[in-house]
Amino acid sequence: MKEKAPENFRLDFAVSREQTNEKGEKMYIQTRMAQYAEELWTLLQKDNTFIYMCGLKGMEQGIDEIMSALAERDGNICQNYVVIFSTH
């Protein structure tokens, strides 16, 4: 996919055993997402945006906190956000 449309593809990763955040703590996916929260939220408003995340069970809470805050800020009901986000 990246070869066909490099301007439409982005890869970021967070490796907790190898990377640290700005506070010197382990880097987690929710920390990385927080760094790009506004950009992610804008992209998620588009039908052609796909995000793939993988990690340990329990990471959902941190991701939910970030994205729910953005949804509520823009007048979206948190429960609607959760349904939309988890079905795509």
Which pLDDT value is given to residue 41? Answer: 87
pTM confidence score:
0.66
Kindly report, residue by residue over 52-68, the tens digit of the pLDDT.
Answer: 777 778 888 888 888 88
Domain boundaries, the chain: 6-87
Distances in whole angstroms, Cα of residue 59 to Cα of each of 14, 30, 33, 46: 12, 7, 11, 24
Which pLDDT value is given to residue 80? Answer: 57
Kindly report, residue by residue over 24-49, the tens digit of the pLDDT.
Answer: 888 888 888 888 888 888 888 888 88
The strand pairing partners of 26, in sequence order, are 20
Which pLDDT value is given to residue 61? Answer: 84
Which pLDDT value is given to residue 84? Answer: 53
**Domain range 6-87, its CATH number among 3.40.50.300, 3.40.50.9100, 1.20.1440.230, 3.40.50.80:** 3.40.50.80
